[in-house]
Amino acid sequence: MSYVDGFVIAVPAANKEIYRAFAAKAAPLFKEFGATRVVECWGDDVPEGTVTDFRGAVKAKDDEIVVFSWVEYPSKEVRDAANARIMSDPRMKEMGAGMPFDGQRMIFGGFAPILDV
């Protein structure tokens, strides 16, 4: 089974196209480093919860949309090696300087699938 990195961020609604272009530029780098799939999802039906929710998790403001993304890798080992390369790649460092969202509010983690049907 593969390994998945998941991400949730808040992006200003006005930055949708800027974010899409940013993601489109980053995706080939993730694939170059070993990712098999990169998926970016713009929030469309993200309800507010009574205890917790996606918006609260990233402290989304009224003018922000929640974006849910994931990157699939063949294994955790490939993901770990890819993340090391990503963090040191000058292209990613350059892109990181102009992120169209507040990276400090991003939540992320690595996940080992337990069911894939």
CA distance 10 to 60: 5
pLDDT the model gives residue 109: 96
Residue 36 located in a structural domain: yes
pLDDT mean across residues, the chain = 94
Domain tally, the chain: 1
What is the tens place of the pLDDT at every residue in 29-49? Answer: 999 999 999 999 999 999 999
Report which of residues 4 and 102 the model is more confident about: 4
pLDDT the model gives residue 49: 93
pLDDT the model gives residue 97: 76
What is the tens place of the pLDDT at every residue in 47-99? Answer: 999 999 999 999 999 999 999 999 999 999 999 999 999 889 888 888 777 78
Regarding pTM above 0.95, the answer is: no
Q: List strands edge to edge, sheet with 37-42.
A: 37-42, 64-73, 3-12, 107-111
Residue 117 located in a structural domain: no
Residue 80 located in a structural domain: yes
Residue 116 located in a structural domain: no
pLDDT the model gives residue 94: 83
* Cα dihedral 58, 62, 68, 69 in deg (nearest 10): -90
CATH code, domain carrying 74: 3.30.70.100
State the residue range of the domain holding 15.
3-111
